Each structure stands twice: as C-alpha cells, then as structure tokens.
C-alpha cells in the first residue's frame, strides 16, 4: 500500500505514544520518556527533506486528573529534546466522554496543526499506531500511515489505507511524495 500518487506532501504529523516514544500509559513524567528505536533518525529525515514536522496527541491524563497541562507539556518538551525538534505540538487534554472536536479520531488536532503550520490538511500525512490516528487524518482530509505495534488491533491494520512496518519505512513512503523544491 502507498500514499496517493497525485498528492504533494508538505508536512508530517506524528502521534506521540507508541509512535515516537515507548508508550507508558498516561505518562506525564519527562524522566520516563524513551524514544522508539529509530524515531530521531526518522524525524531528522523528514526535516532534512524540508517537511514541516509536528505532533498530534491525545492526553486524557489531564482530564482524568492524573497530571496537569504543565506536566504533560514538560513531558512533550522531553520528547522534543530527544526526538525533535518539532514545529508544532497539538494536544487534546480531554477525555473520551468530553465529545470535543480535537480528540482523535476527530479532525481537530490535525486541523489545528494545519492552521498553525500554514499547510493545507490535504498536504499533510499523519503517522500513528492506532485507528484513531488514521481516522483523524481522514476526517481532516489528510493522508495517513499506520505503523502497527503489538497493541494495534487487526481490524485497524486491515482498515488502514497505508501500513508500514516501521517508523523509518513510513517516513520513506512520505519522502517519495515530497516536491523537488523541498527535497
């Protein structure tokens, strides 16, 4: 499976947990951030090709009262230090029951990133590990690549339009669609 051949890619949005960093459920402790193997290199490749790079992440730990926004921001800053830097961070602080527009699979985080980067959502690709990441991309008009982990459900893999075995492979698929002026 591959990305659409007739669409240009100008930006790449990553999910945080289990995509860029090893998932520690509800993590808001910067000292517990461990990058996924190859994450820094994958982000560097995207940035070197001239792509805008960002993170779109659901962080319901805030709504659940398990952490403050400042704690989550500090954790994200550690991800930025170890894997980034990223041009934009878009965080949904809500829980599933809040019915907000930003929580993936809704389009809000991708729309926010699009606006803040000044790049049409149709020119973005979202890379994530679950169906909510794919759904958010589709809802916003972006493309997506699913990089499954052992926690990714088979139905999510089967439903994804594009699947890659690793983050590095996903970025490679994206780089094939970068305009020459950016590369």
Interatomic CA distance for residues 89 and 55, integer angstroms: 5
Q: Which of 17, 18, 87, 133 is catalytic?
A: 17
17 is catalytic: yes
129 is catalytic: no
Q: Which of 15, 87, 111, 129 is catalytic?
A: 15
CA distances from 19 to 80, 91, 98, 110, 139 (A): 14, 15, 24, 16, 20
Tokens standing for residue 90 = 């878009």
Torsion of Cα atoms, 116 then 76 then 106 then 120, to 10°: 20
Q: Please name which of 18, 15, 16, 20 lies closest in space to residue 137, comparing C-alpha atoms.
A: 15
Under 8 Å CB-to-CB from 167, ≥6 apart: which residues?
Answer: 19, 20, 36, 38, 39, 42, 127, 147
The catalytic site residues sit at: 15, 17
């Amino acid at each position: 499976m591959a990305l659409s051949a007739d669409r240009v890619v100008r930006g790449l949005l990553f999910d945080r947990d289990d995509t860029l960093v090893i998932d520690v459920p509800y993590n808001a402790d910067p000292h517990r951030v461990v990058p996924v193997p190859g994450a820094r290199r994958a982000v560097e490749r995207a940035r070197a090709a001239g792509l805008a790079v960002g993170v779109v992440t659901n962080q319901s730990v805030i709504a659940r009262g398990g952490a403050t926004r400042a704690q989550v921001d500090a954790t994200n800053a550690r991800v930025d230090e170890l894997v980034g830097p990223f041009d934009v961070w878009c965080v949904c602080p809500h829980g599933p029951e809040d019915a907000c527009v930003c929580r993936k699979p809704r389009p809000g985080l991708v729309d926010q990133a699009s606006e803040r980067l000044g790049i049409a959502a149709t020119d973005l690709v979202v890379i994530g590990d679950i169906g909510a990441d794919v759904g958010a991309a589709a809802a916003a008009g972006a493309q997506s690549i699913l990089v499954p982990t052992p926690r990714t459900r088979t139905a999510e893999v089967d439903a994804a339009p594009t699947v890659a075995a690793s983050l590095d492979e996903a970025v490679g698929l994206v780089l094939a669609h970068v305009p020459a002026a950016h590369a």
